[in-house]
Amino acid sequence: AFLPTPPFSPPTSIFAKLSMISFRSIFRFFLLAVCIYTYTYELIGMKYPTNDRGIVIVTGASSGIGRDTAFAIAAKSAAASSADSQSGFVVWAGVRTGEQATDLETAAKEAGLAARIRPVILDVTKGTDIASVADQVAAADQPLVALVNNAGVGSRRPFELEDFADVRSLLNVNVVGAFALTHALLPAIREAQGRVVFVGSIAGEVAAPLNTVYSASKFAV
C-alpha cells in the first residue's frame, strides 16, 4: 500500500527570514520617504521663503469661500501687524461689479479692515479685467505674494440636458479664467517668490450624479 504524502511544509526558518526581509524593506522605504519629504520641504523653504507683507489677490470674493478667505487673511494680518497697510498683507478682493465692490468695501469698514481689503473689478473671463489688474500690480508699491484662484460656478443637471453655452461658460470661469489670470500674474509672483493657490473640490476626485461638468472642471485644477 502506498502511504499518503504529507503536504509540503517549508522550514519555519524560511518564514522567519521572509518576514525579516519584508520588515527591512518596509522600514527602508519608510526612511527613504521621510528623507525625501524632509529634503523637499527644506528645499522649498529655502527657495520660496515665507513673505510677511505684500498683496494677496483672491478671486470670487463677493461671497462664499472667496469672501470668507479674504476677510480671514485680512483679519489675521491686521492682528499680527500695525494698521499701516505697508506692513502685513493687503487683500485685493476680486468682484465682478461695482455694486459688489461697494458692498465688500462697506463690510470691510464695519469689520475694521478697510486698510486690509481692497475690492478690485476682476471678472476672470474678461481679458480686459485681467490686464487691468496686472497693470495695477505692476504699478503697486508692494509685491504680489499670493494669488488665490477661487472664482467658480457650478451646474447640477444630467449631462445630456446641459446647454453647451453654459458648459463653455462654466469652464471659462473655473478653468480657463484661472489659468489666464495665473499666466498674466506669474511674472510678478515669481519676482516676489510668492504662491499660487487653486481652490479645488472633492467633486474633482469623486464625481457625483448631476455634477459631470463641475467635476471635470475641478479635476482640471
Q: Indicate the pLDDT class of residue 11, thresholds 50, 70 and 90.
A: low
For residue 61, the cross-strand partners are none
Classify residue 87 by its DSSP letter. S
Residues 165 and 179 in one domain: yes
Give the number of other Cβ atoms within 10 Å of residue 168's Cβ.
12
Residues 20 and 96 in one domain: no
Residues 178 and 75 in one domain: yes
Residues 90 and 31 in one domain: no
Residue that is written with C-alpha cell 492682528 in the block: 79
Residues 68 and 144 in one domain: yes
Residues 25 and 76 in one domain: no
Q: List active site positions.
A: 214
Q: Indicate the number of domains in the chain.
A: 2
Q: Are 71 and 117 in contact (CB under 8 A)?
A: yes
Q: Indicate the pLDDT class of residue 122, thresholds 50, 70 and 90.
A: very high
Residue 4 lies in a domain: no
Residues 28 and 133 in one domain: no
pLDDT digits (tens, 9 = 90+) for 49-104: 678 889 999 999 999 999 999 999 999 998 877 655 467 899 999 999 999 999 99
Beta strands in the chain (DSSP E): 53-58, 88-95, 117-121, 144-149, 195-198
In the sheet with 195-198, reading across from the earlier edge strand, the strands are 117-121, 88-95, 53-58, 144-149, 195-198
Q: Are 85 and 115 in contact (CB under 8 A)?
A: yes
Q: Evaluate the CA torsion angle 83, 85, 90, 92 in order and state its sign.
A: positive
Residue that is written with C-alpha cell 499660487 in the block: 196
Instruction: Name the residue range of residue 68's domain.
Output: 50-220
- Mean pLDDT of the region 11-36: 65
Residues 54 and 43 in one domain: no
Residues of the chain with pLDDT > 70, as a percent, come to 81
pLDDT digits (tens, 9 = 90+) for 138-161: 999 999 999 999 998 888 888 888
pLDDT value for 172: 94
Q: Is the pLDDT of residue 15 over 90?
A: no
**Which helix or strand (DSSP H or E) is residue 16 part of?**
helix 12-47
Residue 19 lies in a domain: yes
